[in-house]
Amino acid sequence: MIQDDANAKNKVLTDDELAAWVTHEHFMQLALQQAHYAGELKEVPVGAVIVKQGNVIAAAHNQCEQLHDATAHAEMIAITQAAEAVGDWRLEDCTMYVTLEPCTMCSGAILQSRIPLVVYGAVDPKGGAVESLYQLLNDSRLNHQAAIVRGVLAEPCGAILTDFFRALRKLDN
């Protein structure tokens, strides 16, 4: 199941849909804040939060540079934090909010941790494994799937990345 919030804006929403959308934007704002922290630390600005029953149980950003670790994507760190918070590797009633479409590694971790709903901001045409290059969260050959809501605050989630890489290129020149 893929919902597209960008399209949702152009139609009349039911109260439930509107409430869900407001909720998604609220938590995506927190993920975006994490992305900003990452940018300040010269990390690729991607942020993720995990929410359980309305409570934020994990908030993380990319730390590949700081930790010298290619696996230190925001989603991976958030999943570890959330598992610690609930005392279980199964994150069955949690929602992940992430500013960028997850990559193959993070999509794998989302399935392994059984997160049932992933809400993301910007699409990643070069590395996204949720819809762009692969549709890993919707592959019926795998044991688990996750529902997806895409395009929540897509514009600021994408802009922070574009600005970051533009600034990097300027430094290179």
Contact set with Zn ion (CB under 5 A):
73, 103, 105-106
Identify the active-site residue in 75, 84, 101, 155: 75
Adjacent-strand bridge partners of 98: 48, 120
> If we measure between CA atoms, which residue out of 114, 116, 128 comes closest to residue 158?
128
Q: What's the min distance (Å) between Cβ of 117 and Zn ion? A: 17
Q: What's the min distance (Å) between Cβ of 103 and Zn ion? A: 3
d(CA 26, CA 96): 13
Q: What's the min distance (Å) between Cβ of 81 and Zn ion? A: 15
Answer whether 119's CB lies under 8 Å from 82's CB.
Answer: no
Which value, to the nearest 10 degrees, does the dihedral of the CA atoms of residues 22, 25, 27, 29 take?
A: -140
Q: Which is nearer to Zn ion, 103 or 146 (CB)?
A: 103
- Which residue lies nearest Zn ion, judged by its C-beta? 106
Q: Which is nearer to Zn ion, 46 or 152 (CB)?
A: 46
Answer whether 37's CB lies under 8 Å from 47's CB.
Answer: yes
Q: Which is nearer to Zn ion, 74 or 154 (CB)?
A: 74
Contacts of residue 81, Cβ cutoff 8 Å, sequence gap at least 6: 50, 57, 58, 59, 60
Q: Specify whether 75 is catalytic.
A: yes
Contacts of residue 126, Cβ cutoff 8 Å, sequence gap at least 6: 132, 133
d(CA 47, CA 56): 13
Q: Which is nearer to Zn ion, 105 or 147 (CB)?
A: 105
Q: What's the min distance (Å) between Cβ of 8 and Zn ion? A: 26
What are the residue numbers of the active site? 75
